[in-house]
A and B are shown apart, each in its own frame.
Chain A
Amino acid sequence: MVAIDMTTASIIYVTSFVILLIGYLTAISSKDVIRLLISLEMMFGAVFLALIPLFSVAVLANAAFGIAIVTIFTSSGELLILIAAIGILDRQKRDIHTKVIKMGGDRV
């Protein structure tokens, strides 16, 4: 088992930030909604990784596990709704590319 020290925490945080930034770049560069879904899952993976050092604080270990459970189930539900939205978008527009999605907004 690895003890958490500053070096270990730095490795975890750097990995988490790199995965998060790659997720951001994938989301910004995406041309279809499936790539957007994949990038969101990557970002949640980065969030899971950033939770690990919280477990090393003895009084917060149980709270950290509770946060991990809630995060995993909440993100799963959110992604499930996005998958349904992709299906509905395909039925309505016959296309899943982001260029077919037009901004709404108020009309003056």
Chain B
Amino acid sequence: MSIELLVLIALAGIAVLSSLGVLLSKDNFYSSLYMSATLIFVASIYAIFNLQPVFVLIVFIFVGAIGIVTVAVAATYRSDPESQFSKPWAVLVVITAAVVGFAIYSYKMLNPNLSFGMIEFELINFMSQSEYLILVLALVALVVLLLLSVLKMVAWGTDD
């Protein structure tokens, strides 16, 4: 087993453990911190496949902007911690997980020679650097516009 595969298994395992922390934590604040950690580990899996542009987008946009706002909202609306874990639904989720796990296992057994190939993504092949910058700037501008319209919406809610 190569060291890269071990790193992948370790990162995947830590991501799953962090997501379990989200479920089992009673306080929303800690839950949101665990959620941010999960997303950072998911982004790290992208990094070990040499997909750094996606890593940067997930960490900066998704965790850096939305994740931090979620942590701030969870910290603002802090109330008495209570367990938010439903055991009857957990049984159904475990059954679903078993079915999905069996589907993946049987697919692997039925297609032993299935190959995916190396990941050889180059940002320069996606589009030219200037076009890529313009695209990302346009998308960030759209998010900022959305943020402004959301702020206006919340302000209208205050007037009511």
Contact = CB atoms under 8 A, between A and B. Distances in A.
Interface of A: 1-15, 17-19, 21-26, 28-32, 34-35, 37-39, 41-42, 44-46, 48-49, 52-53, 55-58, 61-62, 64-66, 68-69, 72-73, 75-77, 79-81, 83-84, 86-88, 90-92, 96
Interface in B1-42: 2, 4-5, 7-9, 12, 15-16, 19-20, 22-23, 28, 31-32, 35, 38-39, 42
Given A4-B119, A28-B86, A88-B154, A79 B139 contact: no
Interface of B: 2, 4-5, 7-9, 12, 15-16, 19-20, 22-23, 28, 31-32, 35, 38-39, 42-43, 45-46, 48-51, 53-54, 57-58, 61-62, 65-67, 69-70, 73-74, 77, 79, 82, 84-86, 89-90, 93, 96-97, 100-101, 104, 108, 111-112, 114-121, 123, 125-126, 135-136, 139, 142-143, 146-147, 150-151, 153-154, 157-158, 160
Contacts of A42: 19, 22, 35, 38-39
A49 B73 contact: no
Contacts of A23: 19
A22 B8 contact: no
Chain A at the B interface: SS class? helix
B118 A65 contact: no
B16 A75 contact: no
Contacts of B82: 31
A108 B140 CA distance: 46
